[in-house]
Amino acid sequence: MKKVFYYMSFLFAFTQMQAQKDFQGMAVYESKTQAPKFEGMRGNRDITPEMQKSMEERMKKMLEKTFILNFDKSASIYKEEEKLESPGQQGGFRVMVSSMMGGGGTFYKDVKTKSYTVDKEFMGKEFLVVDSLPKLNWKLEQETKQIGGYNCYKATAVKEPSKTDFRNFRPKKTDDKKDEAKKTSGETKTNFSDNFELPKEVVVTAWYTPEIPVNQGPENYWGLPGLILEINDGSTTILCSKVVLNAKDKVDIKPSKKGKVVTQKDYDETVVKKMEEFRDMNGGRARSAAPVMMGR
């Protein structure tokens, strides 16, 4: 009887270990970012109200994306869902803009080694960003809600915004008196970059479910006792719309290997430098920069 008991115990332990090893899940996320209002362009005679409205609508559409997160117990890959491009969307430049808005490439996270790898394309060059996962000091709250049938708990954290993620920029508050003074003095040109500012810090609100006990989430978010099903940083909301656990077809969860290997700091410095060169080349004017940012 003892031999049978030990055999059954070993078999149960082996089955549990194998189940954990083979465990895999998939989550679909819908990402929406509040489109900026180009109020600072009101003084520019080259930008009509119709053009301004069109640019805001195109920006809103570009900021609505669908992502797929495939994960196991220790690693995950997060990638934008592939869609057919409409004619005239200028794929190359759209890839660059997408990269600056949280998309572009495959984001691989390994929570055991606390590292990540993401391939990015910028200005026609391919980069492979390899770095340590950001450590957020999550504050676990008591507030709960349901997302897709899962019981979720609230957690909050404060982080430093990235200079290379366009979603982090906020429209500056306009001064109607100054705008009127510019019109009166004949100053009709508006510096596009002057319309936005980068906040010193961003408050992140996450909703995670212990019912899926993996230390994962969308983008570079992680570090909570359960899968993160919703993230909000004030302007961007990423919400899980579907979860599939242990599907028959498995996915290879591994990092990309294409591109020049750089750290996140090196990549950010490269992007900022190139964007400053681009701004200087175009005079920083709204009439030059705005159509380009809209993908025109």
The pLDDT of residue 152 is above 80:
yes
Rounded to two decimals, what is the model's pTM?
A: 0.74
Strongest mean pLDDT among 115-129, 154-168, 171-185: 115-129
Is residue 214 in some structural domain?
Answer: yes
Angle between helical axes of 91-99 and 49-62 (0-180°, round to 10) = 70
Strongest mean pLDDT among 52-61, 113-122, 279-288: 113-122
The pLDDT of residue 233 is above 80:
yes
Is residue 8 in some structural domain?
Answer: no
DSSP strand E in the chain: where?
Answer: 25-33, 64-71, 75-80, 106-110, 115-122, 125-132, 139-147, 150-159, 170-171, 196-197, 202-209, 227-232, 236-245, 260-262
228 pLDDT band, cuts 50/70/90, is very high
Backbone angle region of 260, left / alpha / beta, with phi > 0 → left and psi within -120 to 50 → alpha: beta
Per-residue pLDDT at 292: 39
Per-residue pLDDT at 104: 65
271 pLDDT band, cuts 50/70/90, is confident
Under DSSP, the state recorded for 37 is P
How far, in Å, CA of 229 to CA of 209, rounded? 7
Strands 106-110 and 75-80: antiparallel
The pLDDT of residue 38 is above 80:
no
In the chain, pLDDT over 70 holds for what percent of residues?
Answer: 61
How far, in Å, CA of 8 to CA of 4, rounded? 6
Is residue 1 in some structural domain?
Answer: no
How far, in Å, CA of 117 to CA of 62, rounded? 24
Domain total of the chain: 1
79 pLDDT band, cuts 50/70/90, is very high
Per-residue pLDDT at 76: 97
Per-residue pLDDT at 27: 97
11 pLDDT band, cuts 50/70/90, is very low
Under DSSP, the state recorded for 101 is T
- Of 172 and 152, the one with more pLDDT: 152
4 pLDDT band, cuts 50/70/90, is very low
Is residue 15 in some structural domain?
Answer: no
Across 172-197, average pLDDT: 55
Structural domain harbouring 179: 24-293
Per-residue pLDDT at 181: 55
Closest CA to 229 of 214, 204, 208: 208
Mean pLDDT for the chain overall: 76
Chain mean position to CA 244: 21
168 pLDDT band, cuts 50/70/90, is low
